[in-house]
Structure 1
């Protein structure tokens, strides 16, 4: 661990610039899901308890360096105040006299939210001058936005080079969970990778076959692998042009002694619709007029057995069309088993990615995994084995 936490940095009497991710969904001026705001609360409260003043930096949407009123962070101020339970002030710019004046008038026990960093071109360009302008209003830098750590922007990477830097509580928890899952995991390690397309997860699959003991492939991706082995998948979603790549991944897995679990039985339907007419057949017996929408019960039994034998689980992507019944059955059953083993202390389980979080919440086990990441792109890039600029900058800042 080359990065510091809030416990390792002097905060008393300081202005702490805190990079957060509060890019939450807003409809008609109201926040419809405050999860990301709620998750920054421990960091903000710890900074206040240390006698420092939290000044929050964040992006919202993609204004591309221009001031776009609909993307102003002002519209989430009230919800942030509700979630944090403390007064939240707002400044109409994140640099210059406006920001400095707002910081100067900030009282102890208050929080200041600065306007959208992406209203300035220098943010996404990681412009040194813009990073220095941000740094000029604070004394220390806290990065609590793992979900933006895969971006080398001024507020995620540049600032860590200019001020004493540390990880916030959310970033700390995320990094520790990820280190436990792939850095130095307890073995055996099982990974579940689902979703529609192999082509979007090539780097991920290539990295995992070298790191895990068992790789479960589900969803539309599994159809592509079955087709690559000469199986007729009927009308199923499959990337037939990825057949050579799929076979290469299977070969690499064999070389690395990584077991690949593909469906041995499948649930096929005539259409992608809730409660569509369906049959369960062996994986090589998909009717030509049907599509594969879920893994069958025998496949689920194999997956559960792999979970039973494992010490660590990493999960990204559903096993089937989890959005519609009854094609959520495999995902729900496997997720339930993972949650059961986790609660029994037999499994470390880490999951992430948009569809994954939605699928696990739908299965009713969103709170039962060891850690669930809402980071999306950053979580995927970490699983792919890529260096995340925001994390690397924290390491660099403290070496």
Structure 2
């Protein structure tokens, strides 16, 4: 059964609880990247246009100390939302209580209220993160309808997503437009892709991607492996990897994945090496058969970029998760840039980035608009790619 989306709900004059993901990076109390707030605008604007009363809430980081109650207020995000909408957002510095309840009762259609960081409820006994039944029930009592637009937390069973959905009432919860896109693109690419499907996986550890590789081996036509995890696979093939990062306890697993893959897993053929983990140190490109004993691989090489680009050019669906090297250092960013360009230049294909560092790279490199979809959830998109059932999506009402 398909999930209800926001357009299935009658929003007029209703108090609409909306779980957004405003877990934005902050420095000295200022937001350094507002992508997640911008991503929530279509859903919030739709509720306003349809005459609903918006009650928005989100977590921000982890709350462990009393200082966090000062440093991790969601207020800067509510102020940025107000600027982006060109409209007042009433901020209530509480997660429950009379002040919040009165402010919600006084809300008029088309108005917006945001309440404090949901993780403030975690300070004493993790009521939010452990889905305290009373908290979910209380938050659900504040609204008539619930819209979940926070894909970034869909892999978590929290009071602010499944707790509210369980208590709001039958047929009264729906996915927002952002959540709908994630279900459509990532869910669709995994469950029903247009073939050929090429997956590109990078990042540091094989252990982070085991489930993804195992699930995609049954769906993808090719899986291209880059990033530091490539060295664990190369070691599994009996190659010397010098001082490169290798998960020694995952070599046997890498071996079994290569056997299972039956030629679907494509590994790099060259790598950029250096004696030091530094952008300023001398570096060179070598074949994977000639990695010096005293050097470490920090990026895929130019021949691998060509090989990967060739495979990508044949794809009708592409999923990319994880950079190809230490892309934060310019000398080791060429592999990630090359792969990013190859995907961005595809025509008539569905191209999806599964959040995290690869999303940051595409945005940083100016290619964001050339992808069909960039996921807003790193951990959630990884679990979705693994084929896991995400509690935040499962709890939304069926159509």
Shorter-chain TM range is over 0.9
Which residue pairs with 2:110 in the alignment? 109
Residue deviations 1:51-101, cap 9 Å, x none?
A: 110101211222259782222222333222112221100112233322210
2:144 alignment partner, one of 139, 142, 147: 139
Deviation at 1:176, TM superposition (A): 1.0
Matched, 1:175 2:183: yes
Instruction: Give per-residue Cα distances to partners, 1:286-317, cap 9 Å, x unaligned.
Output: 11222112222221222111111111110011
- 2:394 maps to 392
SS for the counterpart of 2:242 is coil
SS in 2 for 1:287: coil
- 1:11 aligned partner: 11
Sort the Cα spacing of 1:6 and 1:222 in 2 relative to 1 into closer, same or farther, 3 A.
same
Q: Which residue of 2 aligns with 1:338?
A: 343
Residue from 349, 366, 369 that aligns with 2:368: 366
Greater shift in the superposed pair: 171-180 or 36-45: 171-180
Name the TM-score, length of structure 1 as normaliser: 0.93
The answer (yes or no) to whether the contact 1:151–1:388 under 8 Å persists in 2 is yes
SS in 2 for 1:123: coil
Q: TM-score, normalized by length of structure 2?
A: 0.93
Q: Which residue of 279, 283, 290 maps to 1:278? A: 283
Q: Is residue 13–residue 109 contact of structure 2 (8 Å, CA) maintained in 1? A: no
Q: Which runs of 5+ in 1 are unaligned?
A: none
Question: C-alpha root-mean-square deviation of aligned residues, in Å?
Answer: 1.7
Is the alpha carbon distance of 1:80 and 1:336 closer, same or farther for their aligned partners in structure 2, counting shifts above 3 Å? Answer: same
The answer as to whether partners of 2:40 and 2:178 remain within 8 angstroms in 1 is yes
For residues 297 and 113 of structure 1, what CA distance do their matches in structure 2 show? 49
Any conservation in 1 of the 2:17–2:54 contact (CA below 8 Å)?
Answer: yes
Q: Runs in 1 of length 4+ with deviation above 3 angstroms?
A: 64-67
| Matched residue, 1:73 | 74
| Whole-Å separation in 2 of the counterparts to 1:240 and 1:274 | 26
Shift of 1:27: 2.1
SS at match of 1:78: helix
Counterpart pick for 1:190 among 192, 198, 203:
198
Structure 2 contact 190–387 (Cα < 8 Å) conserved: no
- CA contact 1:228–1:240 (8 Å) conserved in 2: no
| Structure 2 residues without counterparts, runs of 5 or longer | none
Rounded Cα–Cα distance in structure 1 between residues aligned with 2:215 and 2:370: 27
Q: Quick check: 1:381 aligned with 2:389?
A: no
What's 1:24 paired with? 24
Counterpart of 2:225 in structure 1 is 217
Q: Which residue of 1 aligns with 2:160?
A: 155
- Give, in whole Å, the separation in 2 of the partners of 1:209 and 1:64: 40
Residue in 1 that maps onto 2:130: 125
The structure-2 alpha-carbon separation of the partners of 1:318 and 1:213, relative to structure 1 and needing over 3 Å to count, comes to same
Larger mean Cα displacement after TM superposition, 66-75 or 160-169: 66-75
Deviation at 1:270, TM superposition (A): 2.4
Equivalent pairs, count: 391
Which whole-Å CA distance do the structure 1 matches of 2:248 and 2:289 have between them? Answer: 16
Q: Deviation at 1:249?
A: 0.9
User: What CA deviation, in whole Å up to 9, does each residue of 1:197-236 have, x standing for no partner?
Assistant: 1122222222221221101110111011111111011111
- The 1-side partners of 2:309 and 2:384 are apart by 25
Report deviation, 1:10: 1.0
CA distance in structure 2 between the aligned counterparts of 1:325 and 1:122, rounded to whole angstroms? 43
Q: Say whether the 8 Å CA contact 1:233–1:288 is kept in structure 2.
A: yes
